[in-house]
Amino acid sequence: MKAIIIDDEKRARVTLSLLLAEYCPTVELIGECENLSEGVKAIKKLQPNLVFLDIEMPGHSGLELLDFFNEEEVNFAIVFTTAYNEYALQAFKFSAIDYLLKPIVPEELAEAVKRAQKQKNKLENFKTLKENLQTETPPKIAVPSGNSLIFLDSSKIQYIKGEGAYSEVFCSNTPKRLVSRNLKNFEDILRSDNRFIRVHKSYIVNFEHVIAFNKSDGGFLELENNIQIPISPDKTQIILDRIQIVKR
């Protein structure tokens, strides 16, 4: 697997090249660039399979990289190297884009390389990341389904039901999706989006779609289309805090 590093800090490039040599023997480093314009030229000339890309560089952000390529030219995977805050990292998770937080942990680097070798939908993932970084609540979420990634509008997700190692994602006006990701994984990814709450061991609900909270039969949430979602007793107060109660 041929790789290029694009990073304005020489120390960062040296460190990453040494880590690749020691922990990623399948990766051949074929170029190092200190800015985005050099990186674009190197990619077009050397045709790497993988690009390690710093986000914050003088002149151009790493997020602008694909602005310089036509869609058919994007046949390389990208792993971002970043010191971004937790909110921004959530956008990466939503978009199924790999990132390495500096200082880079060798084991995480090796895992990122393995995932990059299998990565598909490269252009779509990147477009989704750029869109998600521009908003406080990411508009799209990338979820695995079979050998593909599906990009869902997060505002249309009504609820997610856990089924062991899988989850069923229910969206407005579309068929449910069976996703190869357990509910805990969804809970972790959606943690920063306050629209979503895990209300039961088997359910995460988007509160934008909640119509009513019913206390009978142990308590349940009523969603659009007469959908009823059970809630756990220990979640009742959290739900009440979330719902705005208008007193007459």
Examine the domain organization and report whether 19 and 72 are in the same domain: yes
**Last residue of a domain, which of 78, 111, 133?**
133
- The per-residue pLDDT of the chain, averaged, comes to 83
Residue 247 lies inside a defined structural domain of this protein: no
Examine the domain organization and report whether 195 and 118 are in the same domain: no
Examine the domain organization and report whether 88 and 192 are in the same domain: no
pLDDT tens string 55-72: 888 877 777 887 888 877
pLDDT tens string 178-204: 888 899 988 887 877 888 999 999 999
Domain that holds residue 184: 140-242
For residue 205, what is the domain's CATH number? 2.40.50.1020
Distance CA 115, CA 79 (A): 10
- Averaged pLDDT, 37-46: 93
Q: What is the pTM of this model?
A: 0.56
Examine the domain organization and report whether 49 and 148 are in the same domain: no
**Last residue of a domain, which of 118, 133, 148?**
133
**pLDDT on residue 122:** 62
Residue 248 lies inside a defined structural domain of this protein: no
Examine the domain organization and report whether 82 and 51 are in the same domain: yes
